[in-house]
Chain A
Amino acid sequence: MSQARHSTARSLAAHAVLILYTAIALFPVFVVVINSFKNRRAIFADPLAVPGPESFDLVGYRTVLAQGDFVLYFQNSLIVTVASLFFVLLFGAMAAFALSEYRFRGNMLMGLYLALGIMIPIRLGTVAILQMMVASGLVNTLTALVLVYTAQGLPLAVFILSEFMRGVSDDLKNAGRIDGLSEYTIFFRLVLPLVRPAMATVAVFTMIPIWNDLWFPLILAPSEATKTVTLGSQVFIGQFVTNWNAVLAALSLAILPVLVLYLIFSRQLIRGITAGAVK
């Protein structure tokens, strides 16, 4: 009896701590989103109140849509993220397959070489990357960003995917070989579908830093036509610092897409992590 009461008290305490921390984690986002729907006076009069019929106002959103070219920024971010993701997953899976499936001279060395990039941030090469992009005329193009992000995402992708591919049954692949399938068919038809959960994990880990990056868009593609959402909202907010409605609306617009994507993928992400990908 006392054992049961003891564990109830413990689980109540656990819930209390977790609820408190959840509140800390969500509070700032909550404050910004509710205030983005209020008029200027209500924002300052009572920042913690939810918008009511009197304080409801979309003036911030109107300003953002009229002033900033957010549709274009959004499109740029989407193109860069999706294209980089595609190349990271394709090239990463191919390299991971080569490293995990075949024994050849230099296999270990190649694995280490590719893993180097997990520890050493690509940003340290920025000076030379910019010079290279200038020389090849790729400054202010989305191609430059896609190239950089592909290189940035590959090391971790190869590392995680090769761990997973070691677990794919040899019998299955050998059965394919006996049936006369080429190595390429074995990779694309047999192995890739089996490592799909790992691909989803890699996709999320690759996608978040690319979507949120400020450094490379700022340096490699700051022109109006190639701004990403992150850079676009940074510049926009910088110009509208005193227009609180517009700033809050811009922040909410920047939060929503990532939030929706995350909620769609979160189950996949957690399953991927707990399946032993990153331990």
Chain B
Amino acid sequence: MAQRKAFRWHIAVFLAPAVLVYTAIMIVPLFGTLNLSLFNTGEGGRVFVGLRNFATLFGDPRWSASFWNALGNNAWFFLVHMLVQNPVGVALAALLSSPRLRGAAFYRTAIFIPTILSFVIVGFVWKLILSPIWGIAPGMLDAVGLKSLFAPWLGREGTALTTLALISVWQFVGIPMMLIYAALLSIPDEVIEAAEMDGVTGWSQFWKIKLPLILPSIGIISILTFVGNFNAFDLIYVTQGALAGPNFSTDILGTFLYRTFFGFQLQIGDPHMGATIATAMFGIILLGVGFYLFAIQRRLRRYQF
């Protein structure tokens, strides 16, 4: 009976390509970057400096001011998404899933279109529309008698970041819409019929029956938004450049990482500080994901039909 089953080579063959590519291109560089943050260039090449890069990032006023500025902006960027993108996405999905709605397929397809466009397109299109030179935005506000509200929103320190966050919301609202829509469709008819028998219809049906059932999907969307936002870079880079102007008011962690790693204009790129910032971002994302998995997801009740 000591005879063991022969090694099943086909399992290894099936797994090998994916595991090899994934490990070599994703996991190893990720840990390589974490490792790199512990070194710096000194006399005679690379020297081990322990946590001194982190001391610089958090202790040196020039670095720490930039870091906290980027982190604060990033947090605001995320908050705008949570407060605007997800509720709008849920509302659109709720409307789309109402029974016997004509043209639902058309609305769904159309509202998802911004999501498939690249940041380059989205960034420039909005830059043109909001530009005071072209005058589409002021012209339209004028038509409804609100011309006085117009300002070069992207060019002002106070409004640039919120404007960019809203542009990003415009682009990505299709994702929560689609996922919630799918979740709403999967609620069995019996549950809805039972609610109707009990006289729960319309809005109260949404709040009391459907919303609790789609909470797990909202949770997943929130964490996807979190990871996406704290890793964002493209939109800011395209519209405001690597300097994230005006006066760094739109600087988020992604642009800060890019500037530090590659340098810009007068600053020389610094791979070690870049790796340090990437490690800090890694920590932030890990904290967020961990918080979600242990504090939120476990409390969400899942229903099986």
Does A18 lie within 8 Å of B95, measured CB to CB? yes
Q: In the complex the two chains form, is A110's CB within 8 Å of B113's CB?
A: no
Q: Nearest chain-B residue to A211 (Cβ)?
A: B118
Binds B, one of A61-69, A168-176, A229-237: A229-237
Query: Could you tell me the distance in whole angstroms from the C-beta of B144 to the nearest C-beta in chain A?
Result: 14
Known: A26-B113, A124-B278, A274-B181. A258 touches B32 (CB 8 A): no
Contacts of A255 in B (CB 8 A): 117, 121
Contacts of B56 in A (CB 8 A): none
Q: How many chain B residues have a CB neighbour from A under 8 Å?
A: 90
Contact partner of A94 (CB less than 8 A), chosen from B15, B112, B257, is: B15
Is the CB–CB distance between A25 and B26 below 8 Å? no
One digit per residue, 1 when the CB lies within 8 angstroms of any chain B CB and 0 when it does not, for chain A 106-135 equals: 000010001011011111111111011000
Summed over the interface, the residue pairs from A and B with CB atoms below 8 Å come to a total of: 249
Question: Which of A52-60, A143-151, A192-200 makes up part of the contact surface?
Answer: A143-151
Q: How far is the CB of B202 from chain A (nearest CB, A)?
A: 8
Q: Which residue of B lies closest to A278 (CB)?
A: B179
Task: Say whether B116 contacts A259, CB under 8 Å.
Answer: yes
Tell me the smallest distance from the CB of B24 to a CB of chain A, in Å: 8
Contact with A along B174-197 (1 / 0, CB 8 A): 000011011101100000000000
Asked if residues A273 and B21 are in contact (CB atoms below 8 Å), the reply is no
| Complex contact B282–A274 (CB within 8 A) | no
Stretch at the interface among B75-83, B132-140, B146-154, B157-165: B132-140
| Binary flags per residue of B89-101, CB closer than 8 Å to A gives 1, else 0 | 0011001101011
Residues of A within 8 A of B115 (CB): 208
For B108, the closest partner residue in chain A by CB is A270
Residues of A within 8 A of B101 (CB): 11, 14-15
Q: Are the C-beta atoms of B282 and A151 separated by less than 8 Å?
A: no
CB neighbors of A among B168-218 (8 A): 170, 173, 178-179, 181-183, 185-186, 202, 217
Asked if residues B33 and A124 are in contact (CB atoms below 8 Å), the reply is yes
* Residues B14 and A127 in contact, CB atoms below 8 Å apart: no
**In the complex, B245 has a CB within 8 A of chain A:** no
Min distance, Cβ B290 to any Cβ of chain A, angstroms = 10
Contact present for B33 and A125 (CB under 8 Å): yes
Chain A interface size, as a band, is 35 or more
A47, B29: Cβ atoms closer than 8 Å: no
Cα–Cα distance between A126 and B238 once the two chains are bound (Å): 19
CA–CA, A11 to B104, complex, Å? 12
Q: Which residues of A contact B (CB under 8 A)?
A: 10-11, 14-15, 17-18, 21-22, 24-26, 28-29, 31-32, 43-44, 47-48, 87, 90-92, 94-95, 97-99, 102, 104, 110, 114, 116-117, 119-129, 131-132, 147-148, 150-152, 154-155, 158, 182-184, 187, 208, 211-215, 219, 230, 233-234, 237, 244, 247-248, 251, 254-255, 258-259, 262-263, 266, 270, 273-274, 276, 278-279
Q: Residues of B with Cβ closer than 8 Å to A?
A: 8, 10-11, 13-15, 17-19, 21-22, 24-33, 36, 88, 91-92, 95-96, 98, 100-103, 105-121, 124-126, 128-129, 134-136, 139, 170, 173, 178-179, 181-183, 185-186, 202, 217, 223, 227, 231, 233-234, 237-238, 254, 257, 261-262, 271, 274-275, 278-279, 281-282, 285-286, 289
Cβ-closest 3 pairs across A and B: A128-B32, A125-B29, A212-B118
